[in-house]
């Protein structure tokens, strides 16, 4: 059964605003990435989604294509963002089969719960490789195509069409620091720095580059690993000033904004979509059960007992 539009896109956007545009997205088969792609395809774009799992990526592409009659959605599995040659081949195939790359989303990411004491050098390096090196490789593989897209779609454009836009999916942990998330904090801080450099070096060519930082998003693969399964949704909501976790639609709508004519002058920055959750990071509940209090759980060398994936270490 096709995902209802209300779950991935609000009603404020005009149909067809991304007609004849192509989005290239790593991690496009994930819960957030697929919502972003659905929104863009619904509004006229074609898409190329990249992933490591062949079956999952191809199945996601077929499902996403159902949101609009005539949509072309190419699913390229077996692609590892840590391998530049693999990613570069995928980008070239996207252009060959779909005609261009106008928008890029670097959404591939890895995460798990671990204190520094339980974080091996290889585990730390793995997250840096996927998030930071993967984003850099995505830049290198797609920038020539984005330059060409920006040349076809000047900013601003009287026709309101857009192109030459790069978006990385970041996080907010590094704004204040977050226990049990040193690896992701370091990786995403580097991703944000990359976006600043990309904006400075390539905006003269017409490219815009931004980060999008989601907070806790309901029903995502990421939060299924980071949050305790024993915590009620009502208690989770209390940890966010707005009173709820986000929806994938919140992230998809933010993506549409940044790629649309309305986002023409947003460049070299980070759009945080988290209900103001980062302003009270200590209460975010990442890696903790409901009764765990900072810094007691750290001094006891404990993490939540109801986590999908946690790497323990004694402090």
Q: What is the tally of helices (H) and strands (E) in the chain?
A: 11, 7
Residue 292 · residue 231 · CB < 8 Å: no
pTM score? 0.92
Domains of the chain: 15-299 (3.40.50.720)
Task: Give me the pLDDT at residue 314, please.
Answer: 37
Kindly tell me if the per-residue pLDDT of 313 is higher than 50: no
**In which element (H, E) is residue 238 found?**
helix 233-238
- Selecting among 34, 149, 168, 170, the annotated active-site residue is 170
Active site residue 188: yes
Active site residue 312: no
Q: What does the pLDDT look like over 69-122, one tens digit per residue?
A: 999 999 999 999 999 999 999 999 999 999 999 999 999 999 899 999 999 999
- Which candidate, 239, 75, 60, 259, places its Cα nearest to that of 150? 259
- Selecting among 34, 149, 185, 188, the annotated active-site residue is 188
């Amino acid at each position: 059964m096709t995902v209802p539009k209300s779950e991935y896109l609000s009603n404020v956007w005009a149909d067809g605003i991304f007609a004849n545009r192509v989005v290239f997205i790593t991690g496009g088969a994930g819960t957030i990435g697929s919502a972003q792609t659905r929104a863009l395809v619904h509004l006229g774009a074609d898409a190329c989604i990249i992933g490591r799992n062949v079956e999952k990526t191809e199945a996601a592409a077929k499902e996403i294509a159902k949101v609009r009659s005539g949509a072309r959605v190419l699913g390229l599995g077996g692609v590892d963002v840590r391998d530049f040659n693999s990613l570069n081949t995928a980008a070239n195939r996207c252009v060959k089969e779909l005609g261009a790359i106008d928008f890029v989303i670097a959404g591939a990411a890895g995460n798990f719960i671990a204190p520094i004491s339980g974080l091996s050098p290889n585990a730390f390096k793995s997250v840096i490789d996927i998030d930071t090196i993967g984003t850099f490789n995505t830049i290198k593989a797609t920038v020539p195509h984005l330059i060409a897209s920006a040349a076809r779609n000047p900013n601003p454009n009287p026709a309101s069409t857009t192109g030459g836009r790069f978006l990385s999916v970041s996080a907010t942990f590094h704004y204040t620091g977050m226990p049990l998330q040193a690896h992701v904090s370091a990786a995403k801080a580097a991703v944000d720095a990359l976006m600043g450099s990309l904006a400075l070096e390539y905006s003269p060519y017409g490219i815009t580059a931004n980060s999008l930082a989601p907070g806790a998003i309901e029903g995502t693969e990421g939060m299924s690993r980071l949050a305790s399964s024993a915590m009620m949704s009502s208690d989770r909501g209390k940890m966010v000033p707005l009173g709820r976790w986000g929806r994938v639609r919140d992230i998809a709508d933010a993506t549409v904004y940044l790629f649309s004519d309305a986002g023409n002058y947003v460049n070299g920055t980070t759009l945080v979509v988290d209900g103001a959750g980062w302003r009270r990071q200590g209460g975010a509940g990442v890696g903790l059960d409901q009764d765990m209090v900072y810094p007691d759980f750290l001094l006891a060398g404990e993490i939540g007992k109801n986590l999908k994936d946690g790497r323990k270490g004694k402090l």
